[in-house]
Structure 1
Amino acid sequence: MTSANANPSLHYADIEFDQQGIPESTLFADIYFSRKDGIAESNYVFIQHNDLHKRFAAISEYDSFVIAETGFGTGLNFLLAADLFLQKAPKNAHLYFTSFEKYPIRHADLVKIHQHWPQFSTLSSLLLARYPALLPGLQRIEIHPQITLDLYFSDVNDTLREWAEEHPRTVNAWFLDGFAPSKNPQMWDSKLFNAIALSLANHATFATFSATGNVRRQMLEAGLNVKKAKGFGRKREMLFGGIQKMGKPAQPAAQSIAIIGDGIAAATLAYELRNSNKRIHIFAAAEAAAAGASGNPQGAVYPLLQAQWTPSSDFYSHAHEFARQLYRSAVPNCWHESGVQQLSKSTPQLLKIRSIRSLNLYPDPYWQPQTQAQASVKANVPLPTPAVLLPTAGWVPAKQLVNELLEKVASHRKQSNLEFSVHFSCQILDIQALNACSSASSHQQWQLLLESTSKDFVAENLCFDQVIIAGGEKSTQLLPQALVPIRPVRGQITQLAVPDNHQLANLNQVLCGGGYITPVHQGLCCIGATFDKTRTDAIIDPNDDEQNLRQLRDDFSFSAPQSWVVANRASVRATTPDHLPLAGRVPKFVNGQLQEYSNLWLLSGLGARGLTSAPLAAALVAAQVENRPLPVTARINAALKPIRFAERARLRNKSIWVY
Structure 2
Amino acid sequence: MPEPDAKITDGVLRSGTFGDIYFSAENGLAETRHVFIDGTNLENRIKSHAHLVIAETGFGTGLNFLAVLDLLEKSGSDCRIDYISFEAYPLDATTAFEARKPFAELHNNSAQLKEVWPERWACAHHRLFLQDRVHLHVHFSDALTAMKQLDFKADVWFLDGFSPSKNTELWSEELFLQIARLSAQNATISSFSVAALVKEGLTKAGFKIEKKKGFGKKREMLTARYNTISAAPRNLSSEKNVIIIGAGIAGASIAHGLRATNIPHIILEAADTIASGSSGNPAGLQTPQLMAAPHPSMQMSLACFSYARQLALTQNVVLDKGIISLHHPEKQGMRQKKMAGQEWPEDLVKAASAHQLTQNANLELQTEGFIQSAGQLIDPSKLTYQLLDKSEVKTGITITALSKKQGIWELRTSNGSIHTATDIVLAMGSALPQFLEQFSLPSLKLQVTSGQLSFLPSNTKLSTLECSLQYGGYVTPMIEGIQALGASFDLSGTMQLTKKAHLHNISLLPTELQKLLPDSLELTGRVSRRLASQDRGPLIGDWHDTIHLFSALGSRGLTNAPLLGLVLARKIANRPSGLDRDIMRIIDPHRFSIRATRTNYRR
Same fold (TM over 0.5): yes
Task: Report what 1:548 is aligned to.
Answer: 505
C-alpha displacement of 1:608: 1.6
Say which SS state the counterpart of residue 409 (structure 1) adopts: coil
C-alpha displacement of 1:530: 0.5
C-alpha displacement of 1:268: 1.1
Say which SS state the counterpart of residue 393 (structure 1) adopts: strand
2:411 and 2:394 mapped to 1: Cα distance?
A: 13
Rate the CA distance shift 1:308–1:29 in 2: closer, same or farther, 3 A: same
Asked whether the equivalents of residues 553 and 559 of structure 1 are also in contact (C-alpha less than 8 Å), the reply is no
Task: Report what 1:594 is aligned to.
Answer: none
C-alpha displacement of 1:47: 0.9
1:363 and 1:144 mapped to 2: Cα distance?
A: 30
Q: Does 1:427 align with 2:367?
A: no
1:116-131 residue pairs with structure 2 within 5 A?
Answer: 116-131=102-117
2:401 and 2:365 mapped to 1: Cα distance?
A: 51
Task: Report what 1:613 is aligned to.
Answer: 560
C-alpha displacement of 1:483: 5.3
Question: What letter matches 1:49 in structure 2?
Answer: G
Q: Does 1:470 align with 2:443?
A: no
Task: Report what 2:201 is aligned to.
Answer: 218
1:486-635 residue pairs with structure 2 within 5 A?
Answer: 486-499=446-459, 502-533=460-491, 535-552=492-509, 554=511, 556-561=513-518, 564-586=521-543, 597=545, 599-635=546-582
Asked whether the equivalents of residues 513 and 555 of structure 1 are also in contact (C-alpha less than 8 Å), the reply is no
Task: Report what 1:451 is aligned to.
Answer: 414
1:383-398 residue pairs with structure 2 within 5 A?
Answer: 383-398=365-380
Task: Report what 1:203 is aligned to.
Answer: 186
Asked whether the equivalents of residues 95 and 147 of structure 1 are also in contact (C-alpha less than 8 Å), the reply is yes
C-alpha displacement of 1:465: 0.3
Task: Report what 1:147 is aligned to.
Answer: 134
Asked whether the equivalents of residues 493 and 568 of structure 1 are also in contact (C-alpha less than 8 Å), the reply is yes
1:109 and 1:424 mapped to 2: Cα distance?
A: 48
2:93 and 2:375 mapped to 1: Cα distance?
A: 20
Asked whether the equivalents of residues 272 and 395 of structure 2 are also in contact (C-alpha less than 8 Å), the reply is yes
Say which SS state the counterpart of residue 121 (structure 2) adopts: coil
Asked whether the equivalents of residues 61 and 97 of structure 2 are also in contact (C-alpha less than 8 Å), the reply is no
1:41-440 residue pairs with structure 2 within 5 A?
Answer: 41-59=31-49, 63-90=50-77, 92-145=78-131, 146-163=133-150, 166-167=151-152, 170-244=153-227, 253-329=238-314, 331-332=315-316, 334-360=317-343, 362-406=344-388, 408-410=389-391, 421-429=392-400, 431-434=402-405, 436=406
Say which SS state the counterpart of residue 507 (structure 2) adopts: helix
State the Cα deviation string for residues 411-455 of structure 1 (Å, max 9, x = none).
xxxxxxxxxx32222233554343x1xxxxxxx232324434xxx
C-alpha displacement of 1:74: 2.0
Question: What letter matches 1:118 in structure 2?
Answer: A
Q: Does 1:652 align with 2:595?
A: no
Asked whether the equivalents of residues 212 and 221 of structure 2 are also in contact (C-alpha less than 8 Å), the reply is yes
Task: Report what 1:416 is aligned to.
Answer: none
State the Cα deviation string for residues 444-489 of structure 1 (Å, max 9, x = none).
232324434xxxxx513x2310111111122233445545332112
How many residue pairs align between the two structures? 595
1:159 and 1:300 mapped to 2: Cα distance?
A: 29
Say which SS state the counterpart of residue 121 (structure 1) adopts: helix
Say which SS state the counterpart of residue 472 (structure 2) adopts: coil
Asked whether the equivalents of residues 240 and 573 of structure 2 are also in contact (C-alpha less than 8 Å), the reply is no
Asked whether the equivalents of residues 214 and 221 of structure 2 are also in contact (C-alpha less than 8 Å), the reply is yes
Asked whether the equivalents of residues 340 and 394 of structure 1 are also in contact (C-alpha less than 8 Å), the reply is yes
2:83 and 2:522 mapped to 1: Cα distance?
A: 51
Question: What letter matches 2:51 in structure 1?
Answer: S
TM-score under structure 1 length normalisation: 0.85
1:285 and 1:577 mapped to 2: Cα distance?
A: 26
Specify every segment of 5 or more residues in structure 1 that has no aligned partner in the other structure, as ranges.
1-9, 411-420, 437-443, 453-457, 588-596, 655-659
Rate the CA distance shift 1:37–1:305 in 2: closer, same or farther, 3 A: same
2:495 and 2:27 mapped to 1: Cα distance?
A: 65
Greater CA drift, 364-373 or 105-114 = 105-114
Rate the CA distance shift 1:249–1:101 in 2: closer, same or farther, 3 A: closer
Q: Give the share of equivalent positions with the same residue, in percent.
A: 30
C-alpha displacement of 1:68: 0.6
Say which SS state the counterpart of residue 584 (structure 1) adopts: strand
1:252 and 1:622 mapped to 2: Cα distance?
A: 11
Question: What letter matches 2:201 in structure 1?
Answer: Q
1:189 and 1:205 mapped to 2: Cα distance?
A: 18
Rate the CA distance shift 1:252–1:498 in 2: closer, same or farther, 3 A: closer
1:249 and 1:128 mapped to 2: Cα distance?
A: 32
Rate the CA distance shift 1:357–1:249 in 2: closer, same or farther, 3 A: closer
Say which SS state the counterpart of residue 520 (structure 1) adopts: coil
C-alpha displacement of 1:563: 6.4
2:306 and 2:234 mapped to 1: Cα distance?
A: 38
Question: What letter matches 1:503 in structure 2?
Answer: K
Say which SS state the counterpart of residue 67 (structure 2) adopts: helix
Question: What letter matches 1:87 in structure 2?
Answer: K
Rate the CA distance shift 1:255–1:108 in 2: closer, same or farther, 3 A: closer
Greater CA drift, 476-485 or 81-90 = 476-485
Say which SS state the counterpart of residue 511 (structure 1) adopts: strand
Specify every segment of 5 or more residues in structure 2 that has no aligned partner in the other structure, as ranges.
none
Say which SS state the counterpart of residue 359 (structure 1) adopts: coil
1:514 and 1:214 mapped to 2: Cα distance?
A: 54
Rate the CA distance shift 1:208–1:384 in 2: closer, same or farther, 3 A: same
Asked whether the equivalents of residues 85 and 95 of structure 1 are also in contact (C-alpha less than 8 Å), the reply is no
Say which SS state the counterpart of residue 478 (structure 2) adopts: coil
Rate the CA distance shift 1:522–1:64 in 2: closer, same or farther, 3 A: same
Greater CA drift, 268-277 or 612-621 = 268-277
C-alpha displacement of 1:46: 0.5
Task: Report what 2:20 is aligned to.
Answer: 30
1:349 and 1:542 mapped to 2: Cα distance?
A: 26
Provide the aligned C-alpha RMSD in A: 2.5
Question: What letter matches 1:571 in structure 2?
Answer: S
1:33 and 1:571 mapped to 2: Cα distance?
A: 54
Say which SS state the counterpart of residue 366 (structure 1) adopts: coil
Question: What letter matches 1:538 in structure 2?
Answer: M
